[in-house]
Amino acid sequence: MLKITCVAVFFGGLFSVLVLVLLPDPPATLDAWRQEAAFISRAFRRVIVPALVGAMVGGMALLASIWRALVRMRWFQVKAAVIAACAPTLHLFMRSRSLALQSAVARADGDLGAVDATLRVQLLIGTIAAILFALVVIGLGRIKPRLGQRYGRDSSGGASCRPSGPGG
For 66-133, the DSSP string reads: HHHHHTT-HHHHHHHHHHHHHHHHHHHHHHHHHHHHHHHHHHHTT-GGGS-HHHHHHHHHHHHHHHHH
Buried b (16+ CB within 10 A) or exposed e, 141-159: eeeeeeeeeeeeeebeeee
Instruction: Give the model's pLDDT for residue 42.
Output: 96
Average pLDDT over residues 93-100: 95
113, amino acid identity: G
Domains and CATH numbers, the chain: 2-146 (1.20.120)
User: What pLDDT does residue 97 have?
Assistant: 95
pLDDT of residue 111: 73
Share of the chain above pLDDT 70, in %: 89
The pLDDT value given to residue 108 = 82
Whole-angstrom Cα distance, residue 114 to residue 138? Answer: 39
pLDDT at 159: 47
Cβ atoms < 10 Å from Cβ of 73: 18
For the segment 28-87, what is each residue's pLDDT rounded down to a tens digit? 888 999 999 999 999 999 999 999 999 999 999 999 999 998 898 999 999 999 999 999
For the chain, give me the number of helices (H) and strands (E)? 6, 0
